[in-house]
Structure 1
Amino acid sequence: MSGIDKVLALIVQNKIAAIRFELVDIHGIGHSRLITSRHFKDKAVHGSSFNLLALVLDPKGIKFSDSGMCIDDVDAVTYPVYETFQNLVWCQSTARILVEPTIKGEYIPQYPRNNARRLLDRLGEQGVSLFSSFVHEFYLVDEKTGEPAEKSCNYAATSRLCKLEAFINLLLACLPRVGVDVESIETLDAPGQLRVTYKSAFGVGSADNAYTFKSTVKELATRNGFVATFMTKPWPEHRGSTTYLCHSLWSLQEHKCIVFDSTAENSLSSTCQKWIAGILSHAQAITALMAPTVNCYSRFETSPTSHAPSNCSWGIGNRTCAIRVKVDGSKRTIIENRIPSSGSNPYVVLAATVAAGLDGLLTDMPLKAATEGSAYDQGYDLPELPLSLEQAMEVLETDEVILDALGKDFIKYFLAAKRHECSEALRARKVAVVDGESWEHNMYFDTI
């Protein structure tokens, strides 16, 4: 059965009345048109028009300029990605399908999902696929009071789960129904902060799962009197939230994991070592892509208390490093990229990681010695990660490998969006409309 036929059958089976045709913008925020089920086939085959204004807005819906997109004289034509169809069980007779925008029959290079797919295809040309999942942290907040849904900072205390039981049960009931196979949920050492893990997927399916996870959590929270915020650091006195990318490399030909080698140093294969070396070589440049909001850098500024990396380090099981490797045999060894903040876009994180790691593979990049002990120890003399979005963008613009891999159109689009945010933050501080923390809260708390 073809992709469209499977979706049409699901529409009938689940008595779906309407389907959200959903785009994901540079911030990871969804924008959708509701298409009635009786017109789904026509819109799927011939495309559905979509105003590209949706892709050039900041998180609060203000248009930014210099994106490189021609949005005034032409609409995009969007086509559904059939494997992303999901019945939204918490909605009445409503489903969702992700769409990809085209102009004159060509995919739009600025669109984050398109770019991630393209980079994964380049990795596939080397006979390698990416198997990955994101580990998400977020705050659950009472919508009326604006305070965390529970007040304890006692890490993983069972009593805290009792206070959040109703919402957690809702997640456990709904997330698997939209393709997110939850493995674990725990409370962290900040009030109302949760961490959720789920099963991995190959290719861009990992980022699809991450977007589905975040949008589902936020929607369920809204429907039940809460706000789920993936803003990286909503309160300066509490720890920041992260979105680790846990991944491994697999051989396309043999369909097996290729990061473990029991005979090698640290039990890591030469392919794995080159991959990690590539990520570390470009870590400073890709920080802008993985920590893409003004607010993200308050997480780095407060290392080590924020549990965030501060430099271009890697280690075996070492939580203080930017890259943590968990060695556990041929099938369970995992590379954990700890740079991304919770406010990141999973498609951009995936693309940036692949771009950097792929350079390590293509150039046979050697891996420096692992960091033992705390990577925060200044004695290691490791390159520091940027401490502001402005600084991070400057470094990004000097890395020709990453610029070339992600493409000039995407980079121009990304930088336009982020310069707009930096400019708005600076303007707010200069005119004393709000202080910096209040501006960040207004911009990101409800939206990201």
Structure 2
Amino acid sequence: MPAALDLTLAASNRGVASMDEARAWLLARGIDDVECITPDLAGVARGKMMPAKKFVGNTSLALPSALFMHTISGEYPEESGDFRYSPNDGDLKLVPDLSTLCAVPWESDPTAQVICDLVDQSGNAVGYTPRNVLKHVMALYEARGWKPVIAPEIEFYLVSKNADPDYPLTPPIGRSGRQIQSGQSYSIGGVNEFDELIDDIYDYSDAQGLEIDTLIHEEGAAQLEINLRHGDPVELADQVFLFKRTIREAAMGHDIYATFMAKPIQGQPGSAMHIHQSIVDKHTGKNIFSNADGGPSDLFHHFIGGMQKYVPAALIMMAPYVNSYRRLTYGMAAPTNCEWGFDNRTTAFRVPTSDPEGRRVENRLPSSDTNPYLSIAASLACGYLGMVEALQPTEPTERTANEDGEIALPRGLLEAVAVFEAEKAFHEVLGRDFVVTYAGIKRGEHETFMQVISPWEREFLLLQV
């Protein structure tokens, strides 16, 4: 390998083009182990670790198919509806995406990680795995000559360690020595309470080639938000996948937890993962949401029309757990409607103020507990359907869209699953294998939840019924 290329690889924190380059990259860093990881349907990193020399030796990697059919609690739900397990639980092959190769900076031994796609024994993409679902949606856009551009915003809480799940979560102690309180929105002092932790997040991110745009303190007690720079949806989903892991590890190093639960603390705001979306012409690079004169295009309105029509049926991919629907309640900061408006944060679909090149639609419904690949795929799929079906949106609203108390969305997990399964358009844009698998898993998770007796039931039913 030429010396100049060797130096370039040594300086690169993220991604290589070939296995030969991967070999040089690993050698330059003295990497001992490689984590071959892939997101499951919950967004949890699954995979295998191997010595670096085995990784570059073309070793075949596989995972059982049932691994992508269990609930967040690790249980395997009963077959229901059209949901069925593979009769032989055959292997799925892990195919490393070398453009994602990067360090694992919190490990004591030199370790690298690489995100993998999943294919079957014939080399075909496995349609119910999250990264492939998003890639399928991207292929639909590609066939139309369109390229989506997104930017996610991820909210999360820092909380004191909680060894016993029966006890409520509490805010951590900051550098002031006092427990953090709410009402710190955009407070620099609130961010400074965790300076050392945030320094670790930045350092870990730099070491992985991840780019943070901004970091702020949100309204909740020790609730932070990280904004990522806009770019390709698959690359940004990869970054969110790695950021969640990074933030949890950085927090653990400071003896606290970072949680992406949608509603971790009673009485506090929920945590969202807002998705900013625009579409460009893949040949010209022009934003197709804007006309030549700078005004909004028909496709812009059709995209919003698709969001309004289809997002309620896709909500299970943006609010995937029982806890997610505790965030989507009247009187809290999250939208509970399908309205849209210009710079109106009370609507589900906000159009931020921008120049014509930056015209975009912000989907404010997804919660931070979502699998980023699936919520991004769902949001883009809904907009895609609106454009190809030429759907018209309602008139934009200037009012406070949540003020009437009505909730225009599924109110809970089972209702969300039912409308998701019933939407036939999703079988095409998301893939039938994914729809039936995801619905079956979510029904199983609800059954698991129903086995747990809550403090509310003990408080109000124990001695009164």
Instruction: Give the TM-score, by structure 2 length.
Output: 0.87
Query: Equivalences for 1:94-243 in 2 at 5 Å?
Result: 94-104=111-121, 105-143=123-161, 146-149=169-172, 150-154=179-183, 155-243=185-273
In structure 2, C-alpha distance between the alignment counterparts of 1:169 and 1:338, rounded to whole Å: 28
SS in 2 for 1:194: strand
Q: State the number of aligned residues.
A: 426
Change (3 A) 1:348 1:437: farther
Q: Which of 410, 414, 425 does residue 401 from structure 1 map onto? A: 425
AA matched with 2:331: P
Gaps of 5+ in 1: 439-448
In structure 2, C-alpha distance between the alignment counterparts of 1:175 and 1:284, rounded to whole Å: 34
C-alpha contact 1:144 1:225 (8 A) present in aligned 2: no
Query: Equivalences for 1:7-18 in 2 at 5 Å?
Result: 7-18=22-33
Which residue in 2 is equivalent to 1:78? 94
Give the Å deviation of 1:109: 1.0
Query: Equivalences for 1:57-72 in 2 at 5 Å?
Result: 57-66=70-79, 67-70=83-86, 72=88
In structure 1, C-alpha distance between the alignment counterparts of 2:93 and 2:219, rounded to whole Å: 46
Gaps of 5+ in 2: 1-15, 164-168, 173-178, 459-465
Q: Which of 270, 282, 292 does residue 320 from structure 2 map onto? A: 292
SS in 2 for 1:170: helix
Rg comparison, structure with higher value: 2
In structure 1, C-alpha distance between the alignment counterparts of 2:103 and 2:352, rounded to whole Å: 35
Which residue in 1 is equivalent to 2:331? 304
AA matched with 2:28: Q
Larger mean CA deviation between 291-300 and 67-76 belongs to 67-76
Larger mean CA deviation between 214-223 and 115-124 belongs to 214-223
In structure 2, C-alpha distance between the alignment counterparts of 1:133 and 1:437, rounded to whole Å: 41
In structure 1, C-alpha distance between the alignment counterparts of 2:71 and 2:457, rounded to whole Å: 18
Which residue in 2 is equivalent to 1:372? 398
1:117-136 residue CA offsets vs partner (Å, 9 max, x unmatched): 01101111111111112100
- Aligned-residue sequence identity (percent) comes to 24
Give the Å deviation of 1:437: 9.6
Which residue in 2 is equivalent to 1:391? 415
Instruction: Note if 1:269 corresponds to 2:292.
Output: no
SS in 1 for 2:280: strand
1:21-74 residue CA offsets vs partner (Å, 9 max, x unmatched): 10211111111210111011234xx63122334323322322334353427442
Which residue in 2 is equivalent to 1:444? none
In structure 1, C-alpha distance between the alignment counterparts of 2:341 and 2:457, rounded to whole Å: 34
SS in 1 for 2:452: helix
C-alpha contact 1:317 1:326 (8 A) present in aligned 2: yes
Which residue in 1 is equivalent to 2:4? none
Instruction: Note if 1:410 corresponds to 2:434.
Output: yes
C-alpha contact 2:421 2:439 (8 A) present in aligned 1: no
C-alpha contact 2:410 2:416 (8 A) present in aligned 1: yes
Change (3 A) 1:119 1:192: same
SS in 1 for 2:26: helix
1:220-277 residue CA offsets vs partner (Å, 9 max, x unmatched): 222331211101001121111000011211110102322234747xx32222111111
Q: Which one has a larger percent helix, Structure 1 or Structure 2?
A: 1
AA matched with 1:304: G
Which residue in 2 is equivalent to 1:360? 386
AA matched with 2:143: E
Which residue in 2 is equivalent to 1:423? 447
AA matched with 1:378: D
AA matched with 1:142: S
SS in 2 for 1:42: coil
Q: Which of 365, 368, 375 does residue 342 from structure 1 map onto? A: 368
Which residue in 2 is equivalent to 1:445? none
Q: Which stretches of structure 1, 4 residues or more, deviate above 3 A after TM superposition?
A: 261-264, 434-438
In structure 2, C-alpha distance between the alignment counterparts of 1:65 and 1:222, rounded to whole Å: 35
Change (3 A) 1:124 1:229: same
Which residue in 2 is equivalent to 1:441? none
SS in 2 for 1:79: strand
Change (3 A) 1:51 1:358: same
Which residue in 2 is equivalent to 1:4? 19
SS in 1 for 2:117: strand
C-alpha contact 2:72 2:445 (8 A) present in aligned 1: no
Query: Equivalences for 1:28-43 in 2 at 5 Å?
Result: 28-43=43-58
In structure 2, C-alpha distance between the alignment counterparts of 1:106 and 1:90, rounded to whole Å: 34
Instruction: Give the TM-score, by structure 1 length.
Output: 0.90
Instruction: Note if 1:280 corresponds to 2:280.
Output: no
Which residue in 2 is equivalent to 1:442? none
In structure 2, C-alpha distance between the alignment counterparts of 1:190 and 1:183, rounded to whole Å: 21
Give the Å deviation of 1:159: 2.1
In structure 2, C-alpha distance between the alignment counterparts of 1:76 and 1:152, rounded to whole Å: 47
C-alpha contact 2:341 2:349 (8 A) present in aligned 1: yes
